[in-house]
Structure 1
Amino acid sequence: MPASFEEFDDLAWDHGNALFLEWKKRLTLRQTYYDVAKKVEEHANSGRATKIDPPQKGAFNVYYRVHFSHGPKALIRFPIPAYFQYREEKLMGEVAVMRYVADKTSVPVPLVLYHGSAEESPGGLGPFVIMEWVENEGDLADVLNTPGLAYSDPPVLNPQIDPEILDEVYSQLADILLQLYACDLEAIGSLDFLDGDVTRDPVVCRRPLSLNLSQLVNFARVPDFELPSRSQTYKSSSEYYRVLADMHLRQLSFQRNQAISSADDCRRKYVARQLFRYAASRNRLADPRFDRGPFKLWCDDLRPANILVGRNNSIAAVIDWEFAYAAPAEFAFSPPWWLLLKAPDDWEAGLDDWVDKYEPRFRHFLSVLERRERELIEQGRMDTPHRLSGCMRESWESGHFWVAYAAQRSWAFDAIYWKFLDERLFGKNESGDLRERLKLLPAEQVHAMEEFVERKLREKNERTLVDWHAEPDARARASVPAAILDR
């Protein structure tokens, strides 16, 4: 990871990994295989289970593939447990989104056969979902990846890729983005089934369970009671941007290890977050044209590695919808960060080099998107108001791409804020002195800064892992001081 970007709390990471390793012991037990096969056989309607493949691990889930005497194969997938991870909430949101996408679009998604709670879980492995297996030749990242990279290396777009292959891939990706963009939703939040009734259409009725929120719990140890309640939804983008800005401050406040490197580093991070909150509180982050919606279906983890392909690079299915929710329209307007396969905060050569490499690929993608829009409009398959290309171009050229990107990623926030957002939001700081920016903040926040810095330095040296939920006075001890949260 580039030095300019931040790291998760390594003790929290190790703790989560230890929980996973303990859970992993059950995955290959003979009885677990038997229970898994029986449960999938019960719901797959494909005859008798004849074979079960060893469990496979992804970033967030483990799955088994089950073969049958007749009919298609199926898989059963379990969210991986980590400390305070919202496994049931995550799984139900994904099931609801997949139902919604299947009903509202022609984007191919796996057919959900059944989902169940931890109480009925085979092998005691936790909540689960059973889906039809989608036959595939790999994923889209395999098609686009640079030849010669090791299997363990993160994929990077092949700089010598055939332009015709890229055109074909981009055209299919454009179709997916255009269909998701056409999905208008009435509030910001995750979809679910009201009262757990899966016979009803899914609706937005829960907090947006984003990838960043999950990471705040697992890798910054932000306690549940410091996050939005599970029933919280939002009727305006500006309100949600304020919530996202507050989450960045909570990440800095609660993460004890790897949160800061020095007193000056802490001050810069504190000031950046408070300035971002200041801008959010004055509605300077959300696009006023779309502040009250319509809101758009957005998936944090939509990327080529989660798009399965068949023969001739045709898309077979889009998978892994667990961090999908109704979001501000600006998220959907943003150019896809994954055109290079690697995110700007994972680019070893730094942000400037990422932009240099990204921009030509974005222009190429934009031309394909515009062409596809014209074709769909001529065919009567798309309305002109659902054109996405103009908004996407404006997002990149205005720099709002970086506002939306930084709002969603607490660990990428600081480098992006100082590189792309500070001057955009508050004008040029000729001296470069942090004290000039402090003049913009309320006096209470300025006065609280040094005490905050002292606390973070103590925590840096203590090297501990705190379980806030086990503390008898957790809320009193854990809460961010009121002066810091003043706007």
Structure 2
Amino acid sequence: MESRLSFDDVAWEKSDDIEESWLDFLLDEDIYNEIGLFLAEHCSPRQWADFKLFKTGGFNASFLMTFTDTDASGAILRFPIPGVHMFPEEKVRNEVSIMQFITERTSQTMSITVPLIFRWGERNESPSKLGPFIIMAYIDHERSMSDLLETPGRQPKQRPELNPDISTTKLKALYRELANIVFSLSTLSANQIGSLKQTGKSAWEVGYRPLSISMNEIVRLGTLPRWKIPTAIYDRASSYFEALAELHISHLQHQRNNAIDSADDCRRKFVARFLFRKLVRDRELRDKWISYEHGPFPVWCDDFRPQNVMVDKAERVVGVVDWEFTYTAPIEFTHAPPWWLLLEKPEYWTKGLDDWCAHYERRLQIFLQAMMDCEEDAYQTRNEPLEESQRLSSWMRHSWESGDFWIMYAARNNFAFDAIYWNKIDQRFFGSNKSDDNIYDVWKKRLRLLEPEEKEIMDKYVDLKLQENETRLLSWDPDPYTLEYMAKMEA
């Protein structure tokens, strides 16, 4: 498979060091006890029975407190991990808003159960000023949906893999549970692209920029300065896609380490990004894949996947967690079928992209059948006729067959961009990308499509990127709390 843009290994090491040190810091006896007292105080008058560090990993550290009244759920206190979350205060605010929004709207649409929020606050309100926090109800569950889908016996450090021996009947049943959530989210929308804000009782509007998981990661592992992340709210789909295209370019310009292999590799990466931006700027090209320029813009969760879907002993969904990177987005995101049907992302598939596609397409047909069943049930409940254009399953099938799926995936995944662009997007819009000499030299045939100023930018950065690759210095712009914690580590 095409080489992808690697994480800056110097930034990755620093992020890991901060995370490990901070998690050790949480287990300091005084800090640990202060956290427990803080949580118990906010759950009063209930009497606590047990308190422990419940879960770490991903983006958060969570503490669980259970109570003597065993019929009631426990409480979770969760902190974003410094060095991992680059926008912790913004992340907590956005997550709280979207969870409250979904909870409020479940009576008007199909049910999505999210944790009930007891309290949330900023860093200066937290114990030992550990960071912004959320106190929420614990969703009692047996396991995650991912546990039911993946190959048995996977070790913690192993990449996830869909169980190849799972029966079609069981797979469809599990996909049906997931399709219900995807369909429900598709019914919640706004007239702008961004993060939600409550403006009154049962009144919501898009009040902040759309903070995506990719935006966090290109600051954390791609060393993009924080100020380069867009701050706008978007009224048109094309405006947001152009902002994402610009982010791909800025990311390549700013990442110091592991961004390129050679001068030609640098040019090749710039050509791909300029042409991707051209897909948005050129009206004729754009009209081939953007169908809803002015919305509606459904709720979209970047981190929604089977691992975050909790199930009971009967393998029924009891709740969905981790809503931190959720915002309203172009409907084309929702129209693309989920990448997680195989659990593993295409860029990490060991046998290459073509093999991933072959396995994915077989599973996609089962998921689409499950989605169609979900749609039938939903519209029978409403006693409304179901037009083909109203079927999410039909749009998903079209997105996969047309290749729109890959545009959405490339737009949202900065580090996977190059592999996806050259294998799945370039030839569709700009003709054959086969080269008489070498498949990796096709970018030279595309130079004629670039604007003069784009060629100037490319030439300017080639030498600079080669020099930066030799320094191995860290150019990092984390949030103020992470910087303060780094200073404590080095003291």
TM-score, normalization by structure 2: 0.90
Q: Following TM superposition, by how much is the alpha carbon of 1:272 offset from its aligned partner in structure 2, in angstroms?
A: 0.3
Q: Any stretches of 5+ residues in structure 2 without a counterpart? A: 436-440, 480-491
Task: Report the equivalent of 1:85.
Answer: 86
Q: Following TM superposition, by how much is the alpha carbon of 1:450 offset from its aligned partner in structure 2, in angstroms?
A: 2.5
Task: Report the equivalent of 2:485.
Answer: none
Q: Following TM superposition, by how much is the alpha carbon of 1:368 offset from its aligned partner in structure 2, in angstroms?
A: 1.6
Task: Report the equivalent of 2:172.
Answer: 167
2:463 partner letter: E
Residue 367 in 1 paired to residue 369 in 2?
A: yes
For residue 78 of structure 1, give the secondary structure of its aligned residue in structure 2. Answer: strand
For residue 77 of structure 2, give the secondary structure of its aligned residue in structure 1. Answer: strand
> What are the Cα deviations for residues 166-215 of structure 1, in whole angstroms up to 9, with x where unaligned?
12111111111111111121100112345xx8x66443111111000001
Distance change (3 Å), C-alpha of 1:69 and 1:268:
same
Contact 2:104 2:202 in 1 (8 A): no
Task: Report the equivalent of 2:18.
Answer: 19
Residue 124 in 1 paired to residue 129 in 2?
A: yes
Residue 440 in 1 paired to residue 449 in 2?
A: yes
Residue 450 in 1 paired to residue 459 in 2?
A: yes
Distance change (3 Å), C-alpha of 1:200 and 1:116:
farther
Task: Report the equivalent of 2:402.
Answer: 398
Correspondences of 1:250-329 after superposition (within 5 Å): 250-283=250-283, 284-285=285-286, 287-329=289-331
> Which is worse superposed, 347-356 or 3-12?
3-12
Correspondences of 1:65-464 after superposition (within 5 Å): 65-70=64-69, 71-82=72-83, 85-105=86-106, 106-194=111-199, 201-229=203-231, 232-283=232-283, 284-285=285-286, 287-380=289-382, 384=386, 386-429=390-433, 431=435, 433-464=442-473
For residue 449 of structure 2, give the secondary structure of its aligned residue in structure 1. Answer: coil
For residue 465 of structure 2, give the secondary structure of its aligned residue in structure 1. Answer: helix
> What are the Cα deviations for residues 47-101 of structure 1, in whole angstroms up to 9, with x where unaligned?
1223211352020000000122223211100000117710010011111111111
1:392 partner letter: M
For residue 130 of structure 1, give the secondary structure of its aligned residue in structure 2. Answer: strand
For residue 257 of structure 1, give the secondary structure of its aligned residue in structure 2. Answer: coil
Contact 1:86 1:214 in 2 (8 A): yes
> Which is worse superposed, 34-43 or 356-365?
34-43
Task: Report the equivalent of 2:52.
Answer: 53
Distance change (3 Å), C-alpha of 1:379 and 1:268:
same
RMSD: 2.0
Distance change (3 Å), C-alpha of 1:383 and 1:321:
farther
Q: Following TM superposition, by how much is the alpha carbon of 1:227 offset from its aligned partner in structure 2, in angstroms?
A: 1.8
Distance change (3 Å), C-alpha of 1:254 and 1:381:
farther
Mapped to 2, the partners of 1:84 and 1:456 lie a distance apart of 26
Mapped to 2, the partners of 1:85 and 1:60 lie a distance apart of 10
> What are the Cα deviations for residues 395-448 of structure 1, in whole angstroms up to 9, with x where unaligned?
001000000000001100001000010011222246464332111111122233
Mapped to 2, the partners of 1:212 and 1:276 lie a distance apart of 17
Contact 1:23 1:125 in 2 (8 A): no
Task: Report the equivalent of 1:483.
Answer: none
Task: Report the equivalent of 1:9.
Answer: 8
Q: Following TM superposition, by how much is the alpha carbon of 1:381 offset from its aligned partner in structure 2, in angstroms?
A: 6.7
Q: Following TM superposition, by how much is the alpha carbon of 1:6 offset from its aligned partner in structure 2, in angstroms?
A: 2.4
Contact 1:285 1:403 in 2 (8 A): no
Mapped to 2, the partners of 1:369 and 1:46 lie a distance apart of 44
For residue 22 of structure 2, give the secondary structure of its aligned residue in structure 1. Answer: helix
Distance change (3 Å), C-alpha of 1:429 and 1:353:
closer
Mapped to 2, the partners of 1:193 and 1:128 lie a distance apart of 19
> Which is worse superposed, 289-298 or 385-394?
385-394
> What are the Cα deviations for residues 9-57 of structure 1, in whole angstroms up to 9, with x where unaligned?
0111112222223322331122223222222223335612232113520
Contact 2:173 2:370 in 1 (8 A): no
Q: Following TM superposition, by how much is the alpha carbon of 1:278 offset from its aligned partner in structure 2, in angstroms?
A: 1.6
1:169 partner letter: L
Mapped to 1, the partners of 2:461 and 2:212 lie a distance apart of 27
Mapped to 2, the partners of 1:119 and 1:202 lie a distance apart of 27
Mapped to 2, the partners of 1:84 and 1:30 lie a distance apart of 25
